[in-house]
Amino acid sequence: MNSKILEIENLTVSFDGFKALKQLNFSMDTGELRVVIGPNGAGKTTFLDVITGKVKPTEGRVLFKGRNLRSLSEHQIARFGVGRKFQTPRIYLNLSVRDNLAIAGSRAKSVFSTLWGRASTAERRRIGGLLETIGLATKADGLAGLLSHGEKQRLEIGMLVAQSPDLLLVDEPVAGLTDEETANIGDLLLALAESHSILVIEHDMEFVRQIARQVTVLHEGSVLCEGTIEEVQSDPRVIEVYLGQ
């Protein structure tokens, strides 16, 4: 297996001449939990968009599991193992929590052939384990629409894991959550990090302190600095960028 799940070299992305990312270099080991932070406009969303193939590099390259993603479509990149959780939950509100996971985990084309009632024994066991991991086992048969905002976020992270991606991209998972819900999401990501490669984009610093091992700070489309959360927080350049907001 390639020890680097992600290698990004000299990445520039221009929108009508404006460089949202500028000669950015980044790499992440397989199995790592990495948090990318940065002020508004730093390029965080564009960075994720390039990894998923939604946006193509103007210059430079993105290697995932050692393969250049340039010629692959967004759909092909997803099938190759890049999974993304968006900020806003995209769950089926009128189906049960369990059925949401069953659908996410299935590669079948028809939604209704993949509901829990038709899942195989192995798939049921896997979904049962996932319900425990995301802390929703007691709500498995309730409608997803009745979950709290924090529980919906956890369900969606579960749906992402159900797809078995090699890399989980998680975009601002705690926006708008209470302190307790935020801590629950942090615990969940730390538990998942035992067996997954995870890249989290976040700007809630309290949350970043809870989960972060290695942090990358983006600023004006480039990497400003990288290190442990302690190293990054005491870096004068980071302090200046955040105080300057």
Residues at the site binding ligand ADP, with contacts judged by CB under 6 A: 15, 18, 20, 38, 40-46
Q: How far is the CB of 153 from ligand ADP (least distance, A)?
A: 18
Identify which of residues 22 and 61 has a Cβ nearer to ligand ADP in the complex.
22
- Quickly count: other Cβ atoms within 10 Å of residue 146's Cβ: 12
Instruction: Name the minimum Å distance from CB 46 to ligand ADP.
Output: 3
Beta carbon nearer to ligand ADP, 40 or 195:
40
179/207 Cα distance (integer angstroms): 9
> At its nearest, how many Å lie between ligand ADP and the CB of residue 203?
8
Rounded Cα gap, residues 158 and 144, in angstroms: 13
Nearer to ligand ADP, 177 or 217 (CB): 217
Sequence-ordered list of residues with C-beta below 8 angstroms from that of 168, at least 6 positions apart, any chain? 83, 85, 157, 160, 161, 192, 196, 197, 198, 199
Q: How does DSSP assign 30-54, residue by residue?
A: TT-EEEEE--TTSSHHHHHHHHHTS
Residue 243, classified by CB atoms within 10 Å of its CB into exposed (0-12), middle (13-18) or buried (19+), is exposed
Closest by CA to 221, choosing from 241, 198, 199, 197, is: 241
At its nearest, how many Å lie between ligand ADP and the CB of residue 194? 28
Q: How many CB atoms are located within 10 Å of the residue 55 CB?
A: 18
Residue 134 vs 218, nearer CB to ligand ADP: 218
**Smallest distance, Å, CB 42 to ligand ADP?**
4
Comparison of 38 and 158: residue with beta carbon closer to ligand ADP:
38
Query: Which one, 15 or 112, has the nearer CB to ligand ADP?
Result: 15
CB of 93 to ligand ADP, least distance (A): 27
Query: What is the amino acid identity at position 185?
Result: I
